[in-house]
Amino acid sequence: MPQGKQPQDNPYAQAAGAYDQNAQKHTPDQRELEGRVLLKAAKMIQDLQENWDSKTGGVLEETLKYNRQIWMMFYDTAIENPEGDRPNDLRSNIINLANFIFKREVDIMADANPPREKLDVLVNINREIAAGLMKKPENDTGTQEQKSET
């Protein structure tokens, strides 16, 4: 930084700071964001099912890739965060669910002409997990008590 230039004198730093403050105020919490992303993936898969007869291999591959990337994020977080804020049984369930999704997607992609019904379970899982993520805790005290018990 040039001499005499303080961060408050830098218009770029001021703009970045203002953006950061605004983004924090208007960005949903992490759980809600993850829920929305899962719902988006579920909608993409359902749209694919509705247009199944006119689908191309590229659309199927891209849709499943998007879903897989979301689940890789959940999987990686569960694997890499053993002492984090998630109990071991929850981490294990996330890992097992992600593995199931990965295997289902491989099964779908390996089939030259997979039936559209094979996608139903992916839509259902995404919607159910999203609903759980977007549900607001009833009170913070109960959440804290649950954390201390595990």
Residue 15: per-residue pLDDT: 66
Residue 90: per-residue pLDDT: 87
Residue 23: per-residue pLDDT: 54
Residue 125: per-residue pLDDT: 98
Q: What kind of architecture, by CATH, is found in domain 28-137?
A: Up-down Bundle (1.20)
**What global pTM score does this model have?**
0.71
Domain edges within the chain: 28-137
d(CA 89, CA 91): 5
d(CA 67, CA 42): 8
| Positions of the chain with pLDDT lower than 50, given as ranges | 1-2, 4-6, 140-150
